[in-house]
Structure 1
Amino acid sequence: MELLILFGTLFLLLLMGVPVAFCLGLSSLATMFYLDIPLTVAFQRMAAGMNVFALMAIPFFIFAGELMNQSGIAERLANFAHALLGRVRGGLGQVNVVSSMMFGAVSGSAVASASAIGPTLIPMMKKEGYDADYAVNVTVTSATTGLLIPPSHNMIIYAIAAGGGISIASLFLAGVVPGIILGTSLMTAAYLVAVKRGYPAGQFPGWAKILRLFFSVLPGMFSTIIILGGILSGIFTATESSAIAVIYTALIATLVYRGLSWNGFVLACVNAAKTTSLVLLIIGTAAAFGWLLAVTEVPLKLSTALLEISDNPLVILLLINLMLLLLGSFMDMSPLIIITTPILLPVAVNIGMDPVQFGIMLILNLGMGVVTPPVGSVLFVGCAIGGIRIEDTIKTIWPFYLAFVVTLGLVTYLPATTLFLPTFFGS
């Protein structure tokens, strides 16, 4: 009965359009009331869920991404990618993917990437004769590469939800190859669709211009090297690296790019504060929800149920993927990471999957959810920028979904895809 109350209240509130954080909190309170658990426990669990030192990295990484956004780095990245790939058939599609990958390596946020790259490239693509649905589909799907290419605050959330025993540096390294594979797969899909629709190719601007544009974006891209290099060398922790990222970003935004105005700085602070407060509220309420899942032994029951269906690890992983894809289309990523990690991670470990590999698989699954209706937040952003209905994009987005499926298959069933770099660096 307690599980019926917990999940029934959650999905009822979601269907009513209540914000996810309140859905998690209210369903937890209702279940505790039924179980005669003091309601103060819910608030204690929320406070404990947010009172984790490693979470300090989230506001810093978000703030660094906002500073980059306000300093005009997105436009510089787009110009560099355009010069490099514009001569390919349907070149602006390739430009879109590469720009999102590079910006994702700075911001670590799919929404931030779509919000920064979209206003620059979607109008440009439409002006050059690309259909609006194509422009939006490429933009929103390529924005998700930032969830895998470090730094990604969702990996920090996963590490904490897993109990804190997983190295954030290992997760950062594990996301690099899948992020590149996903980007390459999306570029392939973009090219094939562009050829089918007869989109034009641009002109080669010359290596001198490409080299000049490369040096213009290099300071911004160097932040990722500083973060990973500092963590791997032991100079600073992942949390400390986020603060270093803010300092470095502020310096290059003001001294190198000179594109960060006072109003832009204030807007970056406001946006970072809003995003951080939303993420932390979700983390807190999801922590209370996750505690109830543990109390009601949901992980054990689900593990038993899956093993009763099949004892084949390949089949169990397929079922987990299908479950995550379904959940990701109805809920936001952050709460799902906190809710599903303690439930599904023990199942994955029991069938021999490495926790780092599972984390990347989880994030990739839920990343597909942010571009899938009805709750796809990144899809909504892209459609709003492109001035197109979601129904029109969904009709033609399937080649890009196929790119996700190919990458997900490699991450799930080929451990070296995620574990090669962490093993190589001994992280």
Structure 2
Amino acid sequence: MTQATPLSTSGVLSPPKSVAIPVASQRLIAIDALRGFVMVIMLLDHVRETIFLHHQVSDPMAALTTDPALFFTRISSMLCAPVFVFLTGLSAWLYGQNHTKKEVSAFLIKRGAFLMLLELFVVGIAWSGNLIPHTFWLQVIWAIGLCMIVLSSLIYLPRKAQIALGLVIVCGHNLLDGIKLDASSPFFVPWAMLHQRDVIHLGGDLIAKTTYPILPWIGVMLLGYAMGPWYAKGSDAVKRQKNLIVLGIGLVIGFVLLRALNVYGDKPWFITDEPVRTVMSFLALTKYPPSLLFLMPTIGVGLILLSVFEKAGEGPGLKQLAILGGAPMFFYLLHLFVLKAFYLSGVAIWGLNQGAFFGVSVLWPVWVMWLVMIVPLYFPARWFSNLKKRRKDLAFLRYL
């Protein structure tokens, strides 16, 4: 079960957008447009989770046995979580443009706690359909919330220290992969939260699964925050766009070189008799927790897209993507409940036609359903985005 969610630049954790579109707010529109873009990609992955669940993709993905079409459909969502988490850090810095650090810290704590509760009692129901859960999936919403609470303290560090700490975490956490604790250890629960994907027994039949261990995500969010000065009011847009391109391309090239060496950053890749499976092996990266090699190309591509979107301004499609990025939590919850309603309707009409699951037997209907859903989901998201802009008096809207 995989998920991803954004935190909006135009709503939560964002300064008010400038009235003058051409330069000042173009940088913010680009951030929302990127968030909207990865939300659209996320929808494809969640459609796959809904009607192709009987062909579940393992993690790490099995390059030798997974159907290539399914593999590359699944891998298309790699961009989502790293970009969401990175932009959350950047948006926190932007929020600080008009607030004191104390106010930013307090908001991060409140927002983070809200997200953690949302994961437990709303998102979990949307995924499982069970009003009384027996398993608490501590997934991406939980991870973002907990990382925000950690970030609430790290924002007080000097910027150079933030960059250094973020790089140490992102680049060095794979050195900890060999540390495995069992439930008898007093450090098992915090370690399962930080780095070891595992099951925590809560008593009785209740369990929690740490699907998204947070240590590397803390580093990603911190680096996003530390990049904030590139987006300061009055900053040189041309220089920023160039820096984003250079850094983004550098991360992608660095990934290719480090991955080719096959010495660090993820599980080894291998050469097979089938070129496509060799490529699949090269690209089969670990997401839970995200390896260094998983984060390098995904964040790199995200930075390149930030530059491209800012240069494009309000070009065709970008305005619509920015609207989706302006109502991220609403879109996220809406699409989960719509998918669950569709799944339950399918079960009621056609039954469990794929063993223990309802679904389709081939992959192409997944893509068709994804394309069909984008427009109907866009309109309520646009309505809610406009509502947030109109009703500044309704403070609770900032959290959705």
Asked whether the two chains share a fold, i.e. TM above 0.5, the reply is no
Q: Could you say which structure has the higher helix fraction?
A: 1
TM score, norm. by length of structure 2 = 0.31
Q: TM-score, normalised by structure 1?
A: 0.29
